[in-house]
Amino acid sequence: MLRKAFVMQLLPNQEAEYEKRHNPIWPELESLLKEQGVVDYSIFLHTETLQLFAYAVVESDERWERIADSPICKKWWEHMSPLMDTNPDGSPMAVELKEVFHIDALS
């Protein structure tokens, strides 16, 4: 299993709409994530900077990358693009974070 962490940027005054669109997430997108080996995925909002911190546990980089090539993911990006910084292809601008510490379980 691999842990992925990245930061995205929400646009001002879009906090409530962003949360609304994720609760619940589209069932077909949730199914795709699970089919491609995502076993855990969370997004957190830093309310002062509007940064979105995302954390996912995935089975492999290859399967994680396949998600972005799917039509449902591209449709999701289009749906979310008015709320956040995006790349020219519509994907969210994301900066991957380097893991510097991890502990599996506390005794």
Per residue in 37-58, is it b (16+ CB within 10 Å) or e — as a string?
bbeeeeeeeeeeebebebebeb
22, 46, 79, 102: which is the annotated catalytic residue? 22
* Annotated catalytic residue 102: no
Q: Rounded to an integer, what distance in angstroms lies between the CA atom of residue 29 and that of residue 36?
A: 11
Can you read off the two tokens belonging to residue 103?
A: 């502990």
On whether the CB atoms of residues 79 and 21 are closer than 8 A, the answer is: yes
Separation CA 56–CA 6 (nearest Å): 9
Phi (first) and psi of residue 50, to 5 degrees: 65, 20
**Residues with active-site annotation:** 22
